[in-house]
Structures are given as structure tokens and as C-alpha cells.
Amino acid sequence: MEKEELKVYLFEGTRNKKNEDGTVSAERETFFQSYAFEGDPKPRVDYNRYWEFGDGCLNLVAEDGREISGDVSSTIEWAYDSGFRGVDIGKMVYGLDAPGKWTEVCLGDEFATTLRVTMLGDLPKVDRERTVRNSDLAPMQQHRVLVDGVPLFPEGGAIESGNPKVPTFVLRPELAKELDKMWETHIHRETRAVSVKVKVDTSYHSADSIDRKLTIEANTRSELDAALATIGVLKPEAIVPDFVSGEGDEPRRYVATVVLSTEV
């Protein structure tokens, strides 16, 4: 799919300040400011379908503290509500055709209230911490969102409850593969030679015991038996493989599944 062209705008509303005595000051103040974009924000921001992990919403914030809206029309509506209802802001925005160009309009009131729209070349740098605080996202949604290629909630990030009775959760997305590798490493170290593939079924459990369901794949029957012996099987040669496959007359792959259990 072709990447949708990214267009980024900076909206700024300014006016003269009002003095305490009611007179108008020559000093300007900014009362409305926001970035808005349309198109594909990657690689700076990758939504990565974060909504698949729940409701919630992402509200980007730039390092300068300004919000970054992914909806230009809503930002235009915000400008209308800030005093520019009679201005054709859409024409101002979409009349800009290159980064660096800007257009502005002054309402001509006593405060010289002005709206300027500038077209930018790229999204501003995103403030990760402010974005998290400004958004309503579950940890796994934060993990899905990538800012400059890094998840808002990184691997290894912890959710601390503050309650000693509730455990701290640490995100390890590849935990299942890590458990497989631990068993493979254990078997290789204990046998000093045998290399097998192990798959741990993390969904398999019993209410009455601690179970670990392991599927072991080996190149030879002797390697399968050595691996089974290493994980505690007394007579590995008696275990019937799930299946054996090969080429010609030669077996090339043995697969067996066992459940290690504290009760049988």
C-alpha cells in the first residue's frame, strides 16, 4: 500500500494583552496553539493498530508542550471556537502548498486577534512522557505505539501496584520463546552435546499440580532419549514419539510430548 502523503500544520492564535486597568497592551500573548497533521506519520509515529488491545485514545504532545492532532478538521473547529468562526480557515490551510509557507488573518478587533497557519516539513519531535500522561492507553496499547521506533511502554517496563500483596508485572512479550530457549540450553548444557528444539505449552495447567507440557524435537532417537533423560524421564526409550519423519529410509526428525507434573 502506498504511503499517504504527510502534511503538517502549526496553528497559532495571538492577541494583545489586556492590562489590569482595562487598556490594551502592546505586548502579545498566544492563547491558541496546536500542531495538526493528515496522512501517514510514520516513521516518527506508528500507531501499530494499538486499538486491537482495547478502547482508549492516543493524544500526541510535542516536546514544546503543544498538542499534535491527527485530525486537521477538529483543529480547525477548535480555532473557530477560539474566536475565528467567521473565517474560512480551511481555505487558509489547504491553500498552503509547501513547507515553510504560512498565512494569517487578523480579526481587526481592539486586541488585534490573529490566527497564523504554517505548513511544516515533518511532525515535531514527540514528548514521550507527556504523550503517555495526556493519553488514555492501557500498557499493551502503549507498547504497540512506536515513537521514533521505540514503544511508549518498552519491553521490560514494569507496572508497580504500590501494594506488597499485589505483584509487580514486567512486560516480556517473547516470554514463551525465552522459556523454550531455557529448556534447550539446559538440555544442551547437561548432555554437553545434544541440541534439540523445545516448545513449552504455557496454556497447559492443572488445578491440582504444577505442570509443564514440553514438546521436544530431535534429529535422532538417541538425541531424543538423551533430552528426555535430562528433563527427568526414567526410561526415555519407552516413550513413544508423537511422530517420526524422514527422507528415503532414514528417520530425520523425532517429536515427543511429555507433561512434567508434581502429581499424576
Residue 55 lies in a domain: yes
The per-residue pLDDT for 249 is 80
C-alpha cell recorded at residue 159: 507496572
Asked whether residue 81 falls in the same domain as residue 198, the answer is no
**243-247 vs 146-147, strand pairing mode:** unpaired
Asked whether residue 150 falls in the same domain as residue 25, the answer is yes
Asked whether residue 79 falls in the same domain as residue 128, the answer is yes
- Taking the C-alpha atoms of residue 224 and residue 75, their distance in angstroms, rounded to an integer, is 64
Domain with 105, as residue range(s), is: 7-159
Residue 167 lies in a domain: no
Domain count, the chain: 2
C-alpha cell recorded at residue 130: 507527556
The per-residue pLDDT for 161 is 81
- Taking the C-alpha atoms of residue 226 and residue 17, their distance in angstroms, rounded to an integer, is 82
Tens digits of residue pLDDT in 191-250: 998 999 999 998 888 878 889 999 999 999 999 999 999 999 999 999 999 999 988 888
Asked whether residue 23 falls in the same domain as residue 111, the answer is yes
Asked whether residue 19 falls in the same domain as residue 137, the answer is yes
- Taking the C-alpha atoms of residue 244 and residue 254, their distance in angstroms, rounded to an integer, is 5
Tens digits of residue pLDDT in 74-94: 999 999 998 899 899 999 999
- Taking the C-alpha atoms of residue 227 and residue 97, their distance in angstroms, rounded to an integer, is 67
